[in-house]
Amino acid sequence: MLPSANPDRHAPATSWRLELQESVAEIAERAVVNELAKHVRDPSYYPPIDHLAVLLQRVAQRLKEVERAPIAEFLGVALDAAVIAGPGRTFGMTNDFLDAADAIIDLLAARDQPVTDLLLAKARYLAVLDNTGQPRADSINRAINASKSAGERARALLMLAEYYIDSSRYRKARRVAGACEKMLTGSSLDHVYYAEILTVTGLSYFFTNINKSEKYFVAAIDRGESLHEHPEVRSAISTAYHYLGRIQAARREFENALGSYVIGERLSDHRLAGTGWYHLRMGEVLLDCGHRNEVYYHLRRAQRIFELGQVISSGDVVLNATWSRYYVWTGDLESAEKLLIEGMRSAQTGKYPRGELICIAQLIRLELGRRRYPSCFALSIRGCWVFGLSEAESGLRTLPSQLQTIAIFARRLLSSRPPKETAHDLPVISCPCADDHNTHDHK
């Protein structure tokens, strides 16, 4: 006769498992609280991204047991860390990181807690991976649908407009920015977001009509001059100064351009990519001015920052093109050509048509100097094809102003070395950034 079953004989094991699960949840909770406390004490502190990814996974797996930890705040810090501090090229937990973020956001949404800003933070991280990809658009659109206030909706709409600009859909971006302005007209938030609306509208004209673009950037700076205490305003003005600097550089107003870049960086939120672009643009202008040490310093700073990013970005592509101009200046044409070819390939892989057009234009200039005319012809055909598919979205009506804008930027971009007239016709220009340019080795 078989012994009767004892329903309690597995009770100790079950109890042990429950206690272990509870201890894992408590450990995750304590870790979340500790890391968040460190960040609150020092906002510049971010834990290593690998540690954050593992911790997010543990929290996501124990969501029902993790009740007391401020998981929304912690997720925001983790997503910001991925954008500001950079996960590096060896980070291999992207899908795990995003899956954990989605699980936490879904739980918070089910509890009817605000998730719009978390979805926008996720969209900023997705922009690092692919700034024109559908996942970024999906996260932004979900943020719009989840918004519970006019402020949340405004932030989401303006990020959607930026997505359209990155995707070269400029008219669509202006329609979204206009809808945001209409929604906020007469509200108490109008003064907070109006500078950003002006900046986004300026960005939508930047690649097609820089004169109109400039007016919006100047208006954004004037509108937000006395509102720097609002992060949204500071960020918008920082961007406006940066792009105003690019317009000034294209017009060869180099001193004004450098000053605009420095002011923009001081007002910025110091996100990783933004600081990389700041050093890259400073290097471009200083290259035009003929300051070799300063150029090398800023381009190396940009390179080291972009290398902290998870994937090869549009910044890497434009940096390759700028290094190429540097090597042409020093007479190393082989290195210049190699960098441009690498930049073209990276742009094609990463779907950065503007970056590819920059590399194509400089390669044509290089090949013309070597009298390689068949290569110039093939590159010209490729350039027209890329431009037609990506940038000529406004039709024949705006094509003249768009071509005029391209010509203004190309005139400076295609100069093989700092022009002789720089030394004679312009005042001596020094870098206003206040950094010690001799802290890095020089070539």
Query: Which of 2-11, 20-29, 347-356 is modeled with the greatest confidence?
Result: 347-356
Q: How far apart are CA 372 and CA 163, in angstroms?
A: 39
Q: What is the pTM (predicted TM-score) of this model?
A: 0.84
Handedness of CA 235, 241, 247, 249 (dihedral sign): negative
44-54 average pLDDT score: 80
Q: Please check the confidence at residue 422 and state whether its pLDDT lies above 50.
A: no
Residue 379 covered by a domain: yes
Give the span between the Cα atoms of 121 and 76, in whole angstroms.
Answer: 7
377 within a domain of the structure (yes/no): yes
pLDDT of residue 176: 98
- pLDDT of 26: 67
Residue 393 CB-half CA count within 13 A: 16
Residue 91 included in any domain: no
Expressed as residue numbers, the domain containing 408 is: 304-391+398-443
Residue 394 is predicted with a pLDDT of 53
Q: Determine the Cα–Cα distance for residues 324 and 362; give it in Å rounded to an integer.
A: 8
Dihedral (CA of 36, 37, 38, 39) sign: positive
Would 385 be classed as within a structural domain?
A: yes
Distance CA 23, CA 6 (A): 28
More confident call, 351 vs 157: 157
Instruction: Compute and round to an integer the Cα radius of gyration of the chain.
Output: 25
**pLDDT given at position 5:** 47
Question: Are 115 and 86 a contacting pair, CB within 8 Å?
Answer: no
Asked if residue 420 belongs to a domain, the reply is yes
Query: How far is residue 272's CA from residue 253's CA, in Å, rounded to a whole number?
Result: 27
| Residue at 329 is within a domain | yes
Q: Is the pLDDT of residue 18 over 50?
A: no
Enter the DSSP assignment of 163.
H
Assigned domain for 257 exists: no
Contact partners, residue 20, CB within 8 Å, separation at least 6: none
- Number of domains composing the chain: 1
Q: Which residue has the higher pLDDT, 44 or 313?
A: 313
- Which range (195-204, 245-254, 364-373) has the least confidence? 364-373
Answer whether residue 316 is part of any domain. yes
Contact 320, 340 (CB under 8 A): yes
Helix %, strand %, coil % of the chain (to 5): 75, 0, 25
Question: Can you say how many angstroms the Cα of residue 359 is from the centroid of all Cα atoms in its chain?
Answer: 20
Residue 141 neighbours by CB under 8 Å, 6+ apart = 160
DSSP, collapsed to helix, strand or coil, labels residue 395 as: coil
pLDDT, residue 17, reads 44
The yes-or-no verdict on residue 137 having pLDDT over 60 is yes
Distance CA 347, CA 351 (A): 6
Q: Give yes or no for residue 330 having a pLDDT over 60.
A: yes
Q: What is the mean pLDDT of residues 365-393?
A: 84
Whether the Cβ atoms of residue 277 and residue 306 lie closer than 8 Å to each other: no
Q: What is the DSSP string of 212-223?
A: HHHHHHHHHHHH
Q: If you average pLDDT over every residue of the chain, what do you get?
A: 83
Instruction: Give me the pLDDT at residue 402, please.
Output: 59
Task: Supply the pLDDT for residue 81.
Answer: 85
Structure tokens that stand for 107 in this block: 């739980």
Spatial CA neighbour of 396 closest among 204, 169, 215, 208: 208
CA distances to 130, 196, 377, 385 from 207, in Å: 20, 18, 25, 17
pLDDT for residue 237 is more than 90: yes
DSSP state of 69: S
pLDDT at 363 over 50: yes
More confident residue, 65 or 388: 388
Look up residue 372 and give its two tokens. 């390689």
